[in-house]
A = this chain, B = another copy of it.
Amino acid sequence: MMSVRYLTAKLAQQIDEELMNVTGAFSLDQLMELAGLACAQTLATVYKKETHPRVLVCCGPGNQGGDGLVAARHLGMFGYLPTIWIPKPGSKEIYKRLQAQCVNMKIPVIPPSSETGPLQNALNESDVILDAIFGFSFKPPVRSPFDSALALISESKLPIVSVDIPSGWDVEKGNAAGVGLNPDVLISLTAPKEGAREFKGRHFLGGRFVTKAMEEKFSLHLPHYPNFDQIVELLPTTDSQKL
């Protein structure tokens, strides 16, 4: 069996566009809902709510942050106690709606601040982090307030679940610059990104909405999702078959 394809940033962008163009016909609402659900299910698979109830969901300003907001809502539904850190809320209408849905669930949102204190306090009261800060459109360098935030999050030594690409990593070159997070778990969406080749932790795939035709067009060689799950773990045996 061919190994799953690792995507360049450009290819990831192209697949996203094809999913949402006139032919693909998906709305961002749909894709984000399924992606965020997959993120929440991944965290819940690895960190049980009995041992890791308090999840700090860190959201960037882009679509990745939207995935984080969807995940926070589902984690709340699953019985976790999420808190959202969202220093630069996205300006898109969907972003505001997703945030409102979390507020309706009474999920606390840390007020934006130029100080690191509020994030530090939240880290002190969390059991695990969902990192939805930067996605596949991230370009270095990491800018304020995220530069100091990544350092604080790393220093916390809390377990980290990263969405799509660990924040601070180059989407294609990985953590060569050494400023990125070192997550324990990664949930790649649609297909893993080039930069994730060097990732050594537990690696899941989500985004069960890619048609066979699109999978073949882009030679994705996606693994088989079990039963009716929305996530599949990429096992080391598959990982060792990297091209």
- Interface residues in chain A, defined as those with a beta carbon under 8 Å from any beta carbon in chain B: 23-27, 29-30, 33-34, 37, 40-41, 44-45, 73-74, 77-78, 94, 96-98, 100-101, 104-106, 208-209, 211-214, 225, 227-228
Contact = CB atoms under 8 A, between A and B. Distances in A.
A211 B105 contact: yes
A104 B25 contact: yes
Contacts of A211: 104-106
A26 B105 contact: no
Contacts of A34: 33, 37
A27 B97 contact: yes
15 contacts: A24-B104, A25-B101, A25-B104, A27-B29, A29-B30, A30-B30, A34-B37, A44-B227, A77-B209, A77-B225, A78-B227, A78-B228, A105-B211, A106-B211, A106-B212
Q: State the copy count for this chain.
A: 2
A138 to B, nearest CB: 25
Taking each of A30, A96, A98, A227, which has the highest tally of chain B beta carbons within 10 Å of its own beta carbon? A30
Contacts of A37: 34
A106 B41 CA distance: 28
A78 B208 CA distance: 9
Taking each of A73, A98, A101, A214, which has the highest tally of chain B beta carbons within 10 Å of its own beta carbon? A101
Nearest to A70: B30
Given A30-B30, A33-B33, A105-B211, 12 more contacts: A25-B96, A25-B97, A25-B101, A26-B101, A29-B33, A34-B37, A41-B228, A74-B208, A77-B208, A77-B209, A77-B225, A106-B211
